[in-house]
A and B are shown apart, each in its own frame.
Chain A
Amino acid sequence: MAASAGSKIRNAKLVLLGDVGAGKSSLVLRFVKGQFVEFQESTIGAAFFSQTLAVNDETVKFEIWDTAGQERYHSLAPMYYRGAAAAIVVYDISNQASFTRAKKWVQELQAQGNQNTVVALAGNKADLLEAREVQIEEAKTYAQENGLFFMETSAKTATNVNDIFYEIAKRLLQGQAAQNPQAAGMVLSQRPNERVVSAASCCSS
C-alpha cells in the first residue's frame, strides 16, 4: 500500500519487551501478517518487522523490534529500546511471574528510556481465561499508576491486537502535534515524502 500523495508518513520505532513466551512475536506476527502459529520460534536477539497504519489522514510506519525474552538477553535490550518512540511491554495473563517481569521492564524504561516514549502494557493470551493468574483490575491499576495505557490482547484470536498498535499510533501523532519533536528527543522522524512512500510500498504487503 503506497500512501496517497500529500499524506504524511511518520516513522516510529517500536520495541516489544516482556518475559519469554509472553507472546511478543505472536503479537507482531498477528499485526504484521494477520497470522497465528501454535509454535512460534523463540526469538534470539531480536527480530525486525515493519508495518504501516493509517490514522485519519496520516500514516505511521512502525519499525518494530521484537526482542528476546530470556533473562540473559536482557543485556542486549538497550540497543533495541534506545530511541524508541513506543514500547509494548507484554505479559501473559496466565503467568504471574511474567507480570512481575513486565513491571521490571516498565521500571527500566522509565529509568533508562526516553521520557516521551509511549508505553503500552499488553496482558496477552487473554483467550486463556481459565488459566488466568493476573487479574485485569490489578493490571489496570498498575497501568494507571504508571501512566501506561493498558489492554488485554490475544494474538491467537486477534482480540485488541490491531487496536493496541492503532492506539499507539494515535498517541504518537497527538504527542507529535503537541510538542516540538526536536526538543522532545525526536520520537518521530519525518522524511521526504517520496522516499518514504517507496519504503512503505516495499515493506507493507
Chain B
Amino acid sequence: MFGIQPRDVSDDDFNPRRRRWSLWTTPPASMPTTSHTSTPRKGHANTYHMSVKFEDLCGFMVEGNVDDVNVLNEVRERIREQGRVWWALEASKGANWYLQPRISSNGGQGVISVTSLKLSVLTNTVTLRRLIRKGVPPALRPKVWLSVSGAAKKRSTVPETYYDELIRATEGKTTPATRQIDHDLPRTFPCHPWLNSEEGQASLRRVLVGYSFRDSEVGYCQGLNYVAALLLLVMKTEEDAFWMLAVLLENVLVSDCYTDTLSGCHVEQRVFKDLLAKKCPRIAAHLEAMGFDVSLVATEWFLCLFSKTLPSETTLRVWDVLFNEGAKVLFHVALAIFKMREDDLLRIQHIGDVIDVLQTTAHHLYEPDELLTFAFDKIGSMTTNTITKERKRHETVVMAELDQRTRRLGSLKMDA
C-alpha cells in the first residue's frame, strides 16, 4: 500500500503550512493543553463533560469536550486513509487526473461539449464527485479546489502578473472598504495563532483589499474576512486564496450575496425556507407555529459559508463539495443541521432553545461524515434547475421589498 504512494503521507503532508509558516506548530489534538477547573475524576461520564482547549486540524485553538478530541483523532486517521485512496488513484490514473476536463455540475467553468464527451471523462467526473464527497486530503486541497471550482481557469484568462499588479495598485490607498477591513483584521479568528500574527493579518489584508479593488460593487462585506481567512489557511498562498475568493463570489455563489443590500442573501434565505418546508415539513411547521424565522440563524451560516459555525475541518469538507457541486450544497448542509436534530426540535417550545440546539449541534460537528451523510443521503436530491427557478421567483419579490424599504427609510428626515 505504502509502496505506491508518490509522497509521504505524514502529518506534515497534511499540515504543509508548518513548512511555510514557521509560526504554526501543530501538536496533536490528543493533547489537550488545558483541563477544566475542578479536579478531573476517572470515569467516562466525568471526562465527557470536561471542557478542554485544544488545537483543531487547521490550527484553531478551540474549546470542546473530551469526546470532541477523540472524534477529531478518528477524523485525523480517516483523512490519512482517504489520502491513501487519492494517492492510489494518482498512481493508476496518472498524476493530476482530476485536472482533466470533466462534466461540470458547477455551471460554466471547465465544461466540455457533448461531442467531445468520452467515457473516461464521464467516469472521472463520477469518481471525482464521489471521492470529493468523502473529502479531499488537506495536502491536495489547493490543487483540487483551484481546478474543480474553475479558479485556475479564471486566473488563466488574465496576465500572470495580475495579482501583483492589483496589489501594487492598492498600496497607500484608503477607501471605505480598506477602513472596514483594517478594523476587522484583528477581529478575524483571533483564536488562530497565524491569523493573529502580523504576517497573517498582512496577508489577509492584501487578499481582501485586492478583492475590494477588483469588484467595487462588493467592495468589502463583513463575513468575507472569515471566508478569506480560511481560504488562506487552506490555499497557503495569497494569490491562490484570492482566486478562490474571486471564483466563489463571481461564479460559485448566487450573485449579490455580499453587495449593498445583500439581496442575493435574502433570496437564498427564502429559497431555504421553502426547501425546509418541503424537505423537513414537520420541523418547518413546528417552528412556524412558534414564530421562529429560520433566517435568524441561517443568515450567518450562508454569509460565512459555515466557517463561523462548524469546526474547521468540517467546514472545509463542506467547501470541498461546494466548490465541486455549487451553491446548492449550502442548502443541503443547512437542512441537514435541522434534520439531524428533528426529534429534539419538535419537542422544543421556546425560540431560545431552538437556537441553542442548532448552535450546539453545529459547534460540535467534529465528524464531517456524519453531517455530509445527512446532507446528501437523508435530505435527498435537489436539482439545480428547480432551485434556479425558485431563486428567480423570490428575486422579484425581494428586490421590490428592499426597494420599498429603502424609500421608506429615505423619507425619514434626519435632523442632523
Contacts from A to B (Cβ < 8 Å) = 11, 20-21, 37, 39-48, 50, 61, 63, 65, 68, 70, 72-76, 78-80, 100, 103-104, 107-108, 111-112, 191, 195-196, 199, 202-203
Contacts and interface: CB of A to CB of B under 8 A. Distances in A.
19 contacts: A39-B187, A41-B308, A42-B184, A42-B188, A42-B222, A44-B299, A45-B303, A72-B262, A75-B261, A75-B402, A75-B405, A76-B262, A76-B299, A78-B405, A79-B293, A100-B416, A103-B415, A195-B349, A199-B353
A107 B356 contact: no
A20 B179 CA distance: 11
A20 B415 CA distance: 21
Interface residues of B, number: 45
A41 B221 contact: no
Interface of B is mostly: helix
B351 A46 contact: no
A68 B353 CA distance: 22
A111 B405 CA distance: 12
Interface in B341-359: 349-353, 355-356, 359
B412 interface: yes
A80 B260 contact: no
Contacts of B303: 44-45
A45 B260 contact: no
Interface in B363-410: 402, 405, 408-409
Given A20-B222, A70-B221, A72-B262, A79 B296 contact: yes
A41 B187 contact: yes
Contact of B222 (A68, A80, A112): A68
Nearest to A41: B187
B259 interface: yes
Interface string B279-301: 00000000000000101110110
B205 interface: no
Contacts of B356: 202-203
Contact of A42 (B187, B258, B350): B187
Contacts of A45: 299-300, 303
Contact of B260 (A72, A100, A196): A72
Nearest to B295: A79
Interface string B314-352: 000000000000000000000000000000000001111
B299 A21 contact: no
Contacts of A195: 349-350
Given A44-B308, A79-B296, A63 B187 contact: no
Nearest to B220: A70
Given A40-B187, A44-B222, A63-B352, A72 B259 contact: yes
Contacts of B188: 41-42
A49 to B, nearest CB: 9
Contacts of B187: 39-42
- Among B222, B351, B359, find the residue whose CB has the most chain A CB atoms closer than 10 A: B222
A44 B266 contact: no
B60 to A, nearest CB: 12
B289 to A, nearest CB: 14
Nearest to B353: A199
A70 B300 contact: no
Given A75-B402, A111-B412, A70 B222 contact: yes
B414 A103 contact: yes
Nearest to B219: A72
